[in-house]
Amino acid sequence: MCGISGIVSRKTTSSSEQAIRKMNDAIEHRGPDGEGIFCHQNVALGHRRLAILDLSELGAQPMHWKDLYTIVFNGEVYNYIEIREVLLKEGYAFQSESDTEVILAAYDFWGTDCVTRFNGMWSFALLDKKKNLLFCSRDRFGIKPFYYTLTEEEFRFGSEIKQLVEEAPVINLPVALDFIISGIEEATDETFFKGIVKLTPGHNLTFDLTENTCQIEPFYTLSDQNKEVSDPDSIGSYISLLEQSVQLRMRSDVRVGTCLSGGLDSSTVAALASKNYNYQDKFYAIHAKSEEAATDESAYATLVSDHLNLNLKTVVPGYQDFERDMDEVIYTQEEPFGSPSVFMQHFVFKEARKNNCIVMLDGQGGDETLLGYERYYPALIRSLPWAERPKALLNSKKNSRLSMLEAIKYMLYFGNYKNRLNRVKRRAKFIRPVYLENYTSETLKKVSESYSDIRKMQNMELTRSQLPHLLRYEDKNSMKHSVEARLPFIDYRVVEFALNMKSDAKIHDGWTKYVLRKGMSALLPKEVVWRKNKLGFNAPENLWLEKHAVEMEKAIRKSVILNTIADLSQLDLSQQDKRMRWRMYNLAKWESAYNVQMDN
């Protein structure tokens, strides 16, 4: 796990070591264990190393292969051992024990198709001197980031936006309006910064150094992986796949631990990981306890820890911690984010580093792949034949917090774009008419349309409306503290199997994530497996935001951007819901942190 930097000059035949070093310095936190720079003609590559596999200098980057290729790589190819075995039989030899060298050999043997053989998370740039091109790739779901800018003068890329941002960057107003009005984040390849974009997950980018052109092509599309599972033992098969995923993600030459909220997903990961932990010390788990009773899951985390005999470390962030780390987290995340819960994750990874847990497993993706949110009920019901819908509607209230009336309201609301658009616009009526009256959201429209089909909705959640912003939080928070986060539920084999299972394996008699509950019944306490209240590292935001109200109002009133797009003189912040107040405050703090300007 590391950070990468790159510059391709489109106007000169030389590269700037000073410029690439400056980009590298901006991400020192991503790689405190080493630094590397490589300049070749008009290409400059940089790398910051967080040593996870092969801690020797043989694993350092940029890494070279027979003077043909040079790579800078961020991530992990978990099945590198299996790929290396294949390549050894083909006559390849290896100098290191790193997955980076395996990528180079795989590229030499399979060409750009090598990425289809990788099971992992990655962003890399590989300079092919033979073909005079730069081959870049981002993993299937975008677990690892790849930001870039493309101008007439340069192509620049990096692991973080701060490597690319100018001194007075310009706001990408449509993205900001989507965030303030609809709460949408990470739904497209654009960022909050005008001119800085992301490489689409599951895509390759090839920069032809001879023609000076850039081409982007997909190598993986989730919508193409539609093969209904007819396995009579789908529960056993799913748990087996998930356990294989966990085992692969335990491969490390440094300590591995896990995040433990006390919910089903993180508890599952903890159970499967500790089961395969073969060291003398106990398996570490880190929990963030909310100081607000309504969002406190520490009892469940303790229950799981005792059951699995874990070494549980609990942090209890208070308002003073929240206030103290405000600027740090805002700067770390690089773009506005939807709720203070991001801070709880920040404190978890901070504690992980303190305990020398350099690799941390986490449960992201379980809800999106196994229908874990109650808002999935409407899409499921609408996907069923008419004759089956009444029974499904009755079942929805059996084992969830969702009443039948609420389920009907969800069906009428979530699947209707006009209703949703009108509602969000009413709540944002303080936005000036020039922006609000013409506001439409293509993302909101596509999300609403997807609620007519459960498979389409899950694809949307995984690729646009839900998982992308969770992955961004995870990457930024973990790497800020020089910790690698690994996500077993987002192994592509696990995702595909989950999506292709029949719906009643995921929601059954009102139970969400039924396949996981049944599969983990023998390994976890029943109080955790069959719990209905879902939280997951929730911050005590009612308490924190109430104490922070004065500071929030000051920042909002001071914001040039908010004063431009909204009539703040007519705004009573106390009448806005807490999430709207947070989004406005977060945008104002981000504006200040990065000196963001309105476009002229």
- The residues carrying an active-site annotation are 2
Contact 352, 288 (CB under 8 A): no
- Most distant CA pair in the chain, distance: 73
Q: Tell me the C-alpha distance between 358 and 76, whole Å.
A: 14
- Residue 34 has phi, psi (to 5 degrees) of 165, 165
How far does Cα 10 stand from its chain's mean position?
A: 32
Taken as a whole, the chain contains a residue count of 600
Torsion, Cα of 120, 126, 128, 133 (10° steps): 110
Q: Which of 188, 175, 189, 165 is nearest to 565 (CA)?
A: 175
Q: Tell me the C-alpha distance between 356 and 448, whole Å.
A: 44
Q: At what angle do helices 234-248 and 264-275 cross, to 10 degrees?
A: 70
Q: Collapsing DSSP states into helix, strand and coil, what is residue 187?
A: coil
The residue assigned the tokens 């310095």 is 25
Please report which residue ranges of 464-577 form alpha helices under DSSP H: 467-480, 492-500, 503-506, 514-519, 526-529, 541-547, 549-558, 560-565
- Residue 520 has phi, psi (to 5 degrees) of -105, 5
Which pair of structure tokens corresponds to residue 272? 């499967």
Query: What number of other Cβ atoms are within 10 A of residue 138's Cβ?
Result: 27
CB within 8 A of 330, min separation 6: which ones?
586, 589, 590, 593
Which pair of structure tokens corresponds to residue 326? 């405000």
The residue assigned the tokens 């959640």 is 461
Q: Tell me the C-alpha distance between 217 and 199, whole Å.
A: 10
Strands 154-158 and 69-77: unpaired
Q: Which of 180, 177, 202 is nearest to 189 (CA)?
A: 202
Q: Tell me the C-alpha distance between 431 and 269, whole Å.
A: 43
Q: Which of 593, 476, 341, 472 is nearest to 29 (CA)?
A: 476
Query: What number of other Cβ atoms are within 10 A of residue 94's Cβ?
Result: 14
Which pair of structure tokens corresponds to residue 520? 């983990």
Q: Collapsing DSSP states into helix, strand and coil, what is residue 184?
A: coil
Q: Tell me the C-alpha distance between 94 and 103, whole Å.
A: 11
Q: Tell me the C-alpha distance between 76 and 490, whole Å.
A: 13
